[in-house]
Structure 1
Amino acid sequence: MKKQILTMSAAVAVLVAAWGSAFAAGFSIREQSAEGLGSSFAGIAAGSHGLSSMYWNPATISQHNEQGYISESNISLILPYSEAKDGVGGFGGSSDSGNIGVLALVPASYSVYGLTDDITLGLAINAPLGLATKADAWAGSPHGSSSEVFTLNVNPNVAYKIGDMLTVAVGVQGEYIAVELESETPGGAQFFGGEADDIAFGFTAGLLFEPMDGTEIGVGFRSSISHKLKGDGFLTPVGFNDGISAKLKTPEVVTLGIKQDITDEFRLMAGVEWANWSRFKALDIIRDDTGAILASTPQDWDDSWFFSIGGEYDWTDELTVRAGFAYEDSGVPDSTRTPRVPDNDRYWVSVGASYKINGWLTAHAAYSHIFVEDGSINLPAGGGLPSLTANFDQHIDIVSASATIDW
């Protein structure tokens, strides 16, 4: 009986660690725009990349007011590579995780309608957060063998143009989130898992300032969304199965962008983004039947920053080409990096193009390669979890395409 109690305690610790790792790991999805990807999202809050700019700044929809109803559909293929090597864990197991990255398709859609000369309506449907990792059985499996996070965010917004230079906008976010996480000991002797979901709401806001012809400056804000996840946690073969819950507040995000026309054909863009990931200091997992805290896991994350610069050139009346570079500070401290999302600082290199097929249809495509700095893991034993050391080799390739239709 004592052995079973100890086993269940370890299982709870593993389950808690699994949830904490996924929620704290800065798992925002940036790939919301094929046009934006082509310049590493430089200047996107200034409306430099079509309808999809509304995801970062809803005020940019006013730039499309005279077009009546217009829509845009995006799809991004994400090809991550992340492999742990030289792994040593307290429960033994292979030193190599294999590629834990899982291929993902990320859709996004946007619509804009000019209601009056000064009022523009917009609708964005996105997946702002996401995570998909799956490892082979290895030394780090007790800290996380697979992870899935899915979100669906619906964001209607309205923009009002005040004179010729200033536009203000606000919007509402309705967001569904579902999480499924698993861990196991090497050899599969014990299997742990948890799943939960929730619906919650937030808002967006933005400003667009055009001080002179050829200059556009935008600031966008996405609020935090407070999720109260409820679901089930389980352990086999012991037979533990009980309701669990956790509170998750997504980070506030502020994006600043500028676009400057250099000539009639050539434009330069730049952007800065801040995300408030430092709000994740700890995560409490609650057992539903007793209301007791199963565990409180420290997070200690830092705020993340994203800096980008890019340019685009109208090669012909139909063809526009673009390129960009970005640096992203992930905010993940070395002390709490885990196998679920072994995130680290990144460098983006991107190219893209747009082609106007006819008067009502424009196609966009882009490619990015992300160089991710190697990340080390050095987790001490504690709370029923074994120690783990490992080194991760990582990079990401992204291909995006979209179509804009002027109805």
Structure 2
Amino acid sequence: MHNKFNKLTWAVAVAAAAFASQANAGGYQINEQSVSGQGYGHAGRSSNVNDATIVFGNPAGMSFLDRAQLTAGGTYLNVSTDIDNASATRNGVPVHVDGSADGDIVPGTLVPFAFYAHPVNEQLAFGFGVYAPFGSKTEYEDGFVGRNLGNYTELRVISAQPTVSYRFNDQWSIGAGVTYNRVDGELHRQVANPFSPNNTDADIDARIEGDDDAWGYNLGVIFQPVPETTFGLTYRSKVSYTLTGDYRATDPSGLVDTFAPERLNRDAQLDLTTPETINFSVTQQMSDRLKLMAGASWTRWNRFDEILVTDPSGDVITQEEQDYTNAWAYALGGEYQLNPQLALRAGITLDFTPTSDEFRSARIPSDDRRVFSIGAGWTPMDNLTLDFAYSYLTERSTRVDQERGDSVFDPGAGGLVEGVSSTYSADYKNEAHGFGAQLTYRF
């Protein structure tokens, strides 16, 4: 295969990977950094200080902890997808193969985390956390009718965050953290064979793996005008990556780049910026036993207006419009202290998608979502708390209408020619169940 075909195929694959990483939900952010917070829908993420997970929620909150503590746990996500009315074409001809478009395209996933917070005195505190702020994975079956648009996507981001907090007085506290972020991505797509573009049995299996690391930061402030009322504000910075990776394409017989074996691995790069977020919440102690929380989050998604892939020399390989818009999420929750050992929690979250109908992808076909959560915290002894939570997520039904045009290399013409136009349409309905558990030990 010709070098230009390799470049083009790689670019489409990487571009789709970037899109998938950006579209995992009403935004792509993972919320699973606290099971105690999950129980009340993360409504008090920036203002409710329960345990060491406040290192992520609002670094300023560490100064409100009475002693050092370690919190570790995770949430298991079980996602199901109902796909109806699926159809696909190539150059106007319906694609059948197995004729399949099964649901349950997101494998069950455990999202772990661990945090440590250490108050030095009544004013100063330090902390550290390891968690997953972003991630997505979709995996269609081999015969997926829309496989030319993408049939496997996985992106993982792991962050490590050292943090410091300082409390000026009974009312004000500030905090700051630096994040080291590592991103790894992989995706697959079936690409038309340049020598037989209309023969689906001759499709090329195109795969790309890429990675990068980058630094970011977060800032937080807590204001407690009276002991019963706490306001929290947290800012998480954008993080800029330049993903680089290797491309590999294999035909059905297993041959790789037969006409140019020295070009088996191709290099390209994609600049990707994860957007900054702002979270504000308030926690109100209504009585000795009851407290209520409300919060709002804003994400600057309009940074993601296009996918631009270049080669190492800076030449543009592909450029695709995405046109994301800034998005909001809102949450309400509460916690009731049934007795000294047991706290009960509940919450609801509304999370709005930044994607539009025009650019919604088969890789992550999501829309606006609602999340209903319940939870409990059990403290059998003074230095140990076990938290459990369950969340049910349901998304608004949505539709994917996607079209892509790929050029192919024609040996006779000696260059790239108009080759393949692929379309995919389907109705999607997504829902998910989240089961969380965490342990907090106080020293």
Range of TM-score over shorter length: over 0.9
Residue of structure 2 aligned with 1:280, choices 304, 319, 327: 304
Aligned partners of 1:97 and 1:140 also within 8 Å:
no
Q: How many residues align?
A: 402
Q: Secondary structure at the match of 2:187?
A: strand
Report the residue type matching 2:442 in the other structure: D
Between the aligned residues of both structures, percent identity stands at: 26
Residue of structure 2 aligned with 1:144, choices 130, 150, 169: 150
The alignment's TM-score, normalised by the length of structure 2, stands at 0.87
1:403 aligns with 2:426: no
Aligned partners of 1:217 and 1:258 also within 8 Å:
yes
Cα distance, 1:316 vs structure 2: 0.7
Cα distance, 1:9 vs structure 2: 7.1
1:106 aligns with 2:111: yes
Residue of structure 1 aligned with 2:294, choices 252, 261, 270: 270
Aligned partners of 1:16 and 1:297 also within 8 Å:
no
> Structure 2, unaligned stretches of length 5 or more?
192-199, 258-263, 408-420
1:230 aligns with 2:244: yes
Q: Secondary structure at the match of 1:142?
A: coil
Deviations 1:249-308 (A, max 9, x none): 1110100011001110001100000111111011211223x5422101111111121100
Report the residue type matching 2:220 in the other structure: G
- Could you say if the C-alpha distance between residues 177 and 299 of structure 1 is closer, same or farther in structure 2, counting changes exceeding 3 Å? same
Aligned partners of 2:384 and 2:441 also within 8 Å:
yes
| Aligned twin of 2:47 | 46
| Aligned twin of 2:72 | 73
1:205 aligns with 2:219: yes
Cα distance, 1:50 vs structure 2: 2.5
- The worse-fitting range, judged by mean Cα deviation, of 16-25 and 144-153 is 16-25
- Matches of 1:10 and 1:248 in 2, distance apart? 19
| Aligned twin of 1:332 | 355
Report the residue type matching 2:83 in the other structure: A
The alignment's TM-score, normalised by the length of structure 1, stands at 0.94
- Could you say if the C-alpha distance between residues 141 and 59 of structure 1 is closer, same or farther in structure 2, counting changes exceeding 3 Å? same
| Aligned twin of 2:177 | 171
Cα distance, 1:35 vs structure 2: 0.6
Residue of structure 2 aligned with 1:370, choices 393, 404, 415: 393
| Aligned twin of 1:27 | 28
Report the residue type matching 2:60 in the other structure: A
Deviations 1:322-378 (A, max 9, x none): 101111002111111111111110001000000001121100000000011112011
Cα distance, 1:242 vs structure 2: 0.2
- Could you say if the C-alpha distance between residues 10 and 45 of structure 1 is closer, same or farther in structure 2, counting changes exceeding 3 Å? same
Q: Secondary structure at the match of 2:102?
A: coil
Report the residue type matching 1:229 in the other structure: L
- The worse-fitting range, judged by mean Cα deviation, of 347-356 and 83-92 is 83-92
| Aligned twin of 1:244 | 268
- Matches of 1:271 and 1:395 in 2, distance apart? 23
- Matches of 2:370 and 2:322 in 1, distance apart? 24
- Matches of 2:152 and 2:144 in 1, distance apart? 12
Q: Once superposed, what is the RMSD of the aligned Cα atoms? A: 1.8
Residue of structure 1 aligned with 2:429, choices 382, 393, 400: 393
Deviations 1:110-144 (A, max 9, x none): 11111222111111111111111100121211111
Report the residue type matching 1:85 in the other structure: D
Residue of structure 1 aligned with 2:342, choices 287, 294, 319: 319
| Aligned twin of 2:260 | none
Cα distance, 1:390 vs structure 2: 1.0
Aligned partners of 1:232 and 1:241 also within 8 Å:
yes
- Matches of 1:303 and 1:188 in 2, distance apart? 41
Cα distance, 1:100 vs structure 2: 0.8
Aligned partners of 1:59 and 1:206 also within 8 Å:
yes
Deviations 1:21-61 (A, max 9, x none): 22331321111110111111111210244221331211111
- Matches of 2:362 and 2:316 in 1, distance apart? 24
